[in-house]
Amino acid sequence: MTANSAAGGTMPTFDINRKISGTAVYRASVEAATYRQEGDYFVFYADASRTKKVLTAAVAAITTIDTVTENR
């Protein structure tokens, strides 16, 4: 998986499973500079050097990761 990263000074927000319906679906929004898949997990980082983890979520729980634009 290719990592996504912020191009400017502000961190993007990533919506996890926001468009998936169902009551048992894991949903979250996270501000992170980058994320990548590490084995069985997606790890979201606060910095491009990947030293500060913001969120770790199981790959099995995630169907979609969307980058939120400001004009939502």
For the whole model, what pTM was predicted? 0.78
C-alpha 63/C-alpha 2 separation (Å) is: 16
Kindly list the distances between the CA atom of residue 20 and the CA atoms of 4, 24, 34, 54, in Å, as whole numbers in the listed order.
Answer: 21, 10, 22, 22
**How does pLDDT run across 38-52, given as a tens digit for each residue?**
999 999 999 989 999
Q: What local confidence, expressed as pLDDT, does residue 71 receive?
A: 54
- 11: closest CA among 70, 72, 62, 65? 70
54 neighbors 44 (Cβ within 8 angstroms): yes
